[in-house]
Structure 1
Amino acid sequence: MKAQGGSTFSRTFSWGDFYSNIKTVKLNLLIMGQIVDHGNGSLGVYFRHNSTGVGNVSISLVPPTKEAEFDLKRQSVVHPKDSKTFNCRVDYEKTERSRKVTPCNYDPSKSCAREQSQSHVTWMCSKPFQVICIYVSFYSTDYRLVQKVCPDYSSQGPGAG
């Protein structure tokens, strides 16, 4: 995952936009996200996920103490316990899936079923803010990813963002 800063908007965190882009023979996965301080006491956490190939993605808000490990049962929502910890709620969630047959990347003379999915999730958080980390896990037959991204509070301060 890459984290980028330098936005002109006032943000609670010192970084704003981040993404992960993974390509294998059977998979093309793109995860993008953004954390925005709206300046009115609320914080938005936005995600978009696009994938071609078979696999499952999970995006969650977790405390910094959460270990990065494969947890196949988590869904892309805040669990009730986490929701109370972070004072967040799911504001919007949508997933679209389609399946089509295309020539295989590794052998164009063969046909492969390709699953395409796109999902969006938005959390709205209100004060008091806790330290929030973004937890992404993805697994498929040929690729596994687990990533925890936490803001860098050491550079946060007046004018940070």
Structure 2
Amino acid sequence: MKKIIGMILFLGLGFGSYAQQDSMKHKKMMMHQKDSMKMGGMMKMHQPNFDKLKTDLGLTDKQVADWKKMEESMKPEMDKMHEKHMAEMEAMHEKHQAEMEKMKNQKNEQLKSILTKDQYEKFLKSHPKLGDKKMMPRDGKKGPPPPPKN
């Protein structure tokens, strides 16, 4: 029985750490995309490897030059389209955040009408601050909890 419980805990921790790593990879990828836009646009990030293509496809120097010219001519339009889409995504994110904040406020108001004043105050002290992702400060201290003492 102990082995089964141990195995379940082990697997649960393993899956949890894997999911967290995947989330971190996504965040790093998004930061990379933002940085690549600052350093010359999407085309730099997705520039074909012409040396490899020349070898693999047997391209002539003229074909490589024409392909590079085509890539460069499309770059401004593609960068403009990418910037437009990034702005749309940012606007959509802000709209979503505003809608979620509105719903949290409505939920908070309904909770106030359900609980007594004392219950509501006790709830606020013992639970994460409504609308905030971080927990309320402990003992008047801000930030994450201290590391465990050995």
Report the TM-score, using the length of structure 2 for normalisation.
Answer: 0.19
Q: Whose strand proportion is higher, 1 or 2?
A: 1
State which structure, 1 or 2, has the greater radius of gyration over its C-alpha atoms. Answer: 2
